[in-house]
Amino acid sequence: MKDLVARKNILEKAYDPSDFRAIGHQMIDLLSDHLERVQVDQDHPVLPYQDPEDMLSYWQKDFSSDSDIADVFQKIVKNSISVHHPRYIGHQVAVPAFISSLAGLISDLLSNGTGVYEMGMAANAIEKIVTDLVANKIGYTNEASGVLTSGGSLANLTALLAARKAKAPTAVWENGHQEKLAVMVSEESHYCIDRAARILGLGEEGIIKVPVDKSFKINTLLLDEYLQKAQSEGLHIIAIIGCASSTATGSYDDLNTLADFAEQNDLWFHVDGAHGAGVVFSEKYKHLADGISRADSVVIDFHKMLMTPALNTGLIFKKAEDAYKTFEQKAQYLWDSQHTKEWYNSGKRTFECTKLMMSIKVYAILKTYGEEIFEQNIDTLYGLASVFAQMVKERTNFELALTPEANIINFRYINSDRKNLSTLNAAIRQTLITSGKFYIVQTRIDDELYLRTTIMNPLTKEEDLLALLDEIERIAISLD
């Protein structure tokens, strides 16, 4: 009986609002102190790097200890990468606006799944407002419709499902594959496109990777050749995918030419704009995605250029009916009919049923600052990338892979004899991140390793970028 009472008391404590209030105050203070430190203290590590086995051992020890939750939260912050640090210049992860993170707390606490209207009344209505705004920015008419999904990979997969539904000769959803289907895409496309095609059952031969030109854009001069070759091999092409921008280099494909090609050959035209389609909010840079309004579907990550915590992705269809057709099936316990088109039952258009209240995170930013904050963020980050590229060009010991269009810059340190450059630059990066002073990543271009920075933090300054190049030179000299 005592054990039962004790268990009941634990449950009651887990739902005690006064405990929540007390811990919440501690949490906000902890995070605020952390943010103040990383924004002003250049010596504070961006990444407190530890060996994976050491980190596992650290948390195994904590798990068996009697540390309280406030101490645990502090340890998590201390042992995590700080994306709000001005010298975080690594992966394509948004530096979340604080108001958006607070909206995330509301989402987690209310836990309203948005698949059916009753479970997510506010979130579903707000989702329509947010996706309609993005559709308008893309240049779509009021025929368009969108949904939010958990990341670009899922959004791209969903778009290709819609392409298969619209362009496959037979009803694959109902009858399975009857033909050998394929999609065309740049060889610089994100790996999730390849993965999505394989999940769809297209196999390796169903992913037609078109080579890129010297600017790492899909080579549009080769489109007809690759289409005809695929058709001669018995493949039925259903879609062509444009990158806006590519992940490795930030290059924007020629979307108008791809749209022309799609129309001429009755293909679905999809734009993977996970990283770079945010330029639709920028008067200065929206020309990079010219032609995006001609796509049948567009993916855009709010958790990249639009200041929202991961994961939060918009999938926008030029015609709303394509979204509904993709997932037509019975689910009697959720809705009465599989054929009715109800924007407020988002489960009819996505894989996800119990979906987080993603929309309120974006909405919180828009309501607090207006959509112009997205424009300012993009203009700032893309502008800094141009400045940094020029800094690289002006240093004789550095080589720029290509002039950036987006906020992604690929470069490398070069020694006098230009030997073993990939090995040297890999060692530079490892030394750099182990030091905690900066965080950058790496990529391979033409099978050569390059250092890769993605400027994601609008609080990053030119002096931070100069310091990065100085530190790389210092490390290179010590390694040589």
Asked if the model's pLDDT at residue 350 lies above 80, the reply is no
The verdict on residue 290 lying in a domain is: yes
What is the extent of the structural domain holding 162?
A: 112-369
More confident: 239 or 447: 239
Nearest Cα to Cα of residue 218 among 227, 230, 209: 209
Residue that terminates a domain, selected from 312, 345, 369: 369
C-beta separation of 100 from 359 below 8 A: no
Phi, psi of 367 (to 5 degrees): -70, -35
Nearest Cα to Cα of residue 372 among 307, 317, 315, 313: 307
Residues 319 and 452 grouped into a single domain: no
Residues 354 and 466 grouped into a single domain: no
Beta carbons within 8 Å of 229's beta carbon, 6+ residues apart? none
Residues 403 and 363 grouped into a single domain: no
Residues 262 and 406 grouped into a single domain: no
Q: What is the CA radius of gyration of the chain?
A: 24
Q: What kind and span of H or E run contains 238?
A: strand 236-243
Q: Mean pLDDT in the chain? A: 90
Count the helix, strand and coil residues of the chain and give each as a percent rounded to the nearest 5: 50, 15, 35
C-beta separation of 288 from 245 below 8 A: yes
Residues 193 and 313 grouped into a single domain: yes
Query: What is residue 96's predicted lDDT score, i.e. its pLDDT?
Result: 97
The verdict on residue 243 lying in a domain is: yes
The verdict on residue 15 lying in a domain is: yes
Residues 155 and 238 grouped into a single domain: yes
Paired with 301 in beta bridges are 313
Nearest Cα to Cα of residue 346 among 371, 374, 324, 330: 324
Query: What is residue 189's predicted lDDT score, i.e. its pLDDT?
Result: 85
Mean pLDDT to the nearest integer, 191-213: 88
Question: What one-letter code names the amino acid at 93?
Answer: V
Beta carbons within 8 Å of 144's beta carbon, 6+ residues apart? 132, 135, 138, 316, 317, 318, 319, 320
Q: What kind and span of H or E run contains 399?
A: strand 398-400
Asked if the model's pLDDT at residue 328 lies above 70, the reply is no
Counting Cα atoms < 13 Å in the Cβ hemisphere of 234 gives 5
CA–CA separation, 242 and 193 (whole Å): 11
3-state secondary structure 315-327: EEECCHHHHHHHC
Nearest Cα to Cα of residue 119 among 335, 332, 301, 341: 335
pLDDT tens digit string along 392-420? 999 999 999 999 999 999 999 998 787 88
Residues 295 and 388 grouped into a single domain: no
Task: List the CATH number of the domain containing 328.
Answer: 3.40.640.10
Task: List the CATH number of the domain containing 388.
Answer: 3.90.1150.10
Band the pLDDT of 221: cuts 50, 70, 90: very high
Band the pLDDT of 41: cuts 50, 70, 90: confident
Tell me the C-alpha to C-alpha distance, in Å, between residue 359 and each of 89, 124, 130, 201, 316: 27, 8, 7, 32, 14
Nearest Cα to Cα of residue 242 among 156, 158, 311: 156
Band the pLDDT of 67: cuts 50, 70, 90: confident
Residues 148 and 291 grouped into a single domain: yes
| Predicted TM-score (pTM) above 0.95 | no
CA–CA separation, 412 and 373 (whole Å): 33
Helices (H), 152-245: 152-167, 172-175, 191-199, 223-232
Q: With the CA atoms of 285, 463, 246 and 198 taken in that order, what torsion angle do they form, in degrees rounded to the nearest 10?
A: -140
Q: What kind and span of H or E run contains 9?
A: helix 2-14
Asked if the model's pLDDT at residue 167 lies above 70, the reply is yes
3-state secondary structure 406-456: CCEEEEEECCCCCCCHHHHHHHHHHHHHHHCCCECEEEEECCEEEEEEECC
Residues 291 and 347 grouped into a single domain: yes
Query: What is residue 388's predicted lDDT score, i.e. its pLDDT?
Result: 98
Residues 291 and 423 grouped into a single domain: no
List the Cα angle 474/479/480 in 5-degree steps.
100
Residue that terminates a domain, selected from 353, 369, 385: 369
C-beta separation of 374 from 306 below 8 A: yes
CA–CA separation, 222 and 228 (whole Å): 10
CA–CA separation, 398 and 418 (whole Å): 11
The verdict on residue 97 lying in a domain is: no
CA–CA separation, 185 and 180 (whole Å): 17
Helices (H), 330-420: 358-369, 372-393
Residues 200 and 348 grouped into a single domain: yes
Residue that terminates a domain, selected from 337, 369, 401: 369
Mean pLDDT to the nearest integer, 372-398: 97
Asked if the model's pLDDT at residue 59 lies above 70, the reply is yes
The verdict on residue 294 lying in a domain is: yes
The verdict on residue 216 lying in a domain is: yes
Phi, psi of 207 (to 5 degrees): -115, 100
The verdict on residue 353 lying in a domain is: yes
Structure tokens at 401: 């892979």
The verdict on residue 225 lying in a domain is: yes
Residues 397 and 334 grouped into a single domain: no
Number of domains in the chain: 3
